[in-house]
Amino acid sequence: METIKLTIDNKEVDVPGGTTIYKAAKELGIDIPTLCYMELHDMNIENKPAGCRICVAEVSGRRNLAPTCSTKCESGMVVKTHTPRVLNARRTVMEFILSDHPKDCLICSKSGTCELQAMAHRLGIKDIPGAEYAAVSTYRKDTSPSIIRDLDKCIMCRRCEMMCNEVQTVGAISAVNRGFMATVAPAFEQNLEHSTCTYCGQCVSVCPTGALTEVNHVPQVLRALVDPSKTVVVQTAPAVRAALGEEFGLAPGTLVTGKMTAALRALGFDYVFDTDFAADLTIMEEGTELLDRLSRHLKGDTTAKIPILTSCCPGWVNFFEEYFPDLKNVPSTAKSPQQMFGAIAKTYFADKIGINRKDMVVVSIMPCLAKKYECQREEFSTDGNPDVDFSISTRELASFIKQANIDIKNLQDEEFDSPLGESTGAGVIFGATGGVIEAACRTAFELYTGKKLERLDFTELRGMDGVRSATIDFDGLPLNIGIAHGLGNARKLLDDVRSGKSQFHAIEVMACPGGCIGGGGQPLHHGNSEVIKARATAIYTEDRKKPLRKSHENPFIIKLYEEFLGKPGSEKSHHLLHTHYFDKKKKIIIKK
């Protein structure tokens, strides 16, 4: 490819043809400010609507200022990114944006992590001339089970639209209306709840302002904790321990498992348990289902649906119920670890400690916003009492810890409580893309072949490519595994399943890029995939450190089956640990 030589701020740089000025400046270490531009490196997706006009610069031979995010470099170009004209224009644009933005920063849920606030600070905006006369566009606030839309705070960067449409191919939201009333909304400006939204929360994770935030359940959890009649049980998802530290200034990828456990105990939870235990349980049920379907399939039973699809991810479940309801019998019927945990906590464990399920409150700490919706699904409750009462995100937990004056960084590491806190390395890796299927392979291999698995690290299943495949040798039986993370990638694999072209025996799908570690409830990574990779490394490190790394070797799982469930796939297991799916696709009703 041809190389282009240009000058930016008196420095020369060579870039490949087609490079934008914004990226060329990055090469030189010049960080041009922007509010809308976002690059998702590993996905080859860029958001550059050139909408915010903060990134403008002077370009030789051009009369007006150029938006650098979408202007391509040309040979001999001379670019200046901080002349008085540029700085004035940038300031004026910023003042316009702020004049139509609420000024309640002190009490905004994004305060402190808001990119608009940070930009106002960076550009030295101390005053908005004429703000008292400026019109302010207002919209109806929309609250769904997982996500709150407060469009008064939308600055039309359209990053959410990119995540929802290009990355996730969900298409729940789009830019609508024009001029002053322009915003991003579901069709017909309905509430999110009535759109095709899967609650994956990827829109929330890229929103620069407080326009998109999660529903906050910390107050309800606090009330349960101070209620003496309630026994409050907490479970923490694998991905949380690999990211929580970031909210306290620790480097991405710092594992805080022990400190998080200590903090949860300090917050007053009666039992600090681990979703990883339920992940091990999921492997027992899902692995058994896989082997059952596979062996029937190999014997020529056409009713045995192959491939089997994982079903741990609630965003993914919402996605196939909306877009692939004809395939709703293909995914595993195993509930997600969050829901398996709730079901076991409120039966087996409640019995063990001799309390009624109504006196137990199960709280989950999740990297996910769809989990909030999932725990509210009707089928996951008994007589109106949900198996999981509240699901709070990693971000909410961090806020809760700060509110409670807990200096998490200086806490001594503590262990999870027994028995529902005991887990293997297989449970931990659920947090990263490919982890569930790797955990399943570790167990299914030994159950299927009756031999000891020598190599536990299935590195061929790891990585960050959106769609991956590998063939695992099950002692002569080649097992074809497919992996997708991000719903757009999942759609590709599902289209093949629908058309009968799929050659896979088992497919793992995670709705969020990177898997749960990149979930919509995690500390904001601002599009930086290095953060997600660091979290993945942390997850695999924790796995390696565990004395047991195969789910079926977890002694507490073995005991649970002996004492309570019988065996995987038993009637009791089916009743408590399995579910069914619904056709949620919109129907076109024809009037007779």
Catalytic residues: 286, 289, 312, 332, 371, 374, 379, 516
Q: Taking CB under 8 A as the rule, which mask of x and - marks residues 190-209 in contact with other proteins? A: x--xxxxx------------
Should residue 4 be labelled a site residue for other proteins when binding is judged by CB under 8 A? Answer: no
169 vs 333 by CB, closer to other proteins? 169
Q: What is the DSSP letter of 150?
A: -
Amino acid letter, residue 420: L
Q: Map residue 377 onto helix, strand or coil.
A: coil
Query: What 3-state class would DSSP assign to 481?
Result: strand
Closer residue to other proteins, CB minimum distance, 495 or 530: 495
Which range, of 185-193, 217-225, 386-394, 422-430, touches other proteins by CB under 8 A? 185-193
- Asked if 322 touches other proteins (CB under 8 A), the answer is yes
Q: How far is the CB of 40 from other proteins (least distance, A)?
A: 20
Q: Does 107 bind other proteins (CB under 8 A)?
A: no
Three-class SS state of 39: strand
Query: CA-CA distances (angstroms) from residue 469 to 446, 483, 502?
Result: 21, 6, 11
The alpha helices in 324-455, defined as continuous H runs, are: 337-344, 350-352, 370-374, 394-403, 425-428, 435-449
Tell me whether residue 226 or residue 588 sits nearer to other proteins (CB atom). Answer: 588
Site for other proteins in 530-589 (CB under 8 A): 584, 586-589
The three-class DSSP label of residue 485 is strand
Is position 172 an interface residue for other proteins (rule: CB under 8 A)? yes
What is the strand order of the sheet 308-309 is part of? 308-309, 506-510, 477-485, 467-474
Amino acid at 85: R
111 binds other proteins (CB under 8 A): no
C-beta closer to other proteins: residue 159 or 468: 159
171 part of the interface to other proteins, by CB under 8 A: yes
The total number of residues shown for the chain amounts to 592
Question: CA 96, 102, 103: angle at the middle one, nearest 5?
Answer: 95
Q: How far apart are CA 571 and CA 343, in angstroms?
A: 14
CB of 417 to other proteins, least distance (A): 38
* Sites for other proteins among residues 131-170 (CB under 8 A): 165, 170
Q: Please report how close the Cβ of residue 139 comes to other proteins at its closest, in angstroms.
A: 14
Q: Could you tell me if 207 and 159 are in contact, meaning their C-beta atoms sit under 8 angstroms apart? A: yes
CB of 490 to other proteins, least distance (A): 16
Binding residues for other proteins, rule CB under 8 A, total: 30
Please report how close the Cβ of residue 196 comes to other proteins at its closest, in angstroms: 6
590 binds other proteins (CB under 8 A): yes
- State yes or no: residue 328 binds other proteins (CB under 8 A): no
Site for other proteins (CB under 8 A): which residue of 155, 167, 185, 506? 185
| C-alpha 296, offset from chain centre | 35
- Give the Å distances, CA to CA, from 192 to 130, 141, 150, 207: 35, 11, 12, 16
Contact residues: other proteins, CB under 8 A: 165, 170-178, 185-190, 193-197, 322, 584, 586-592
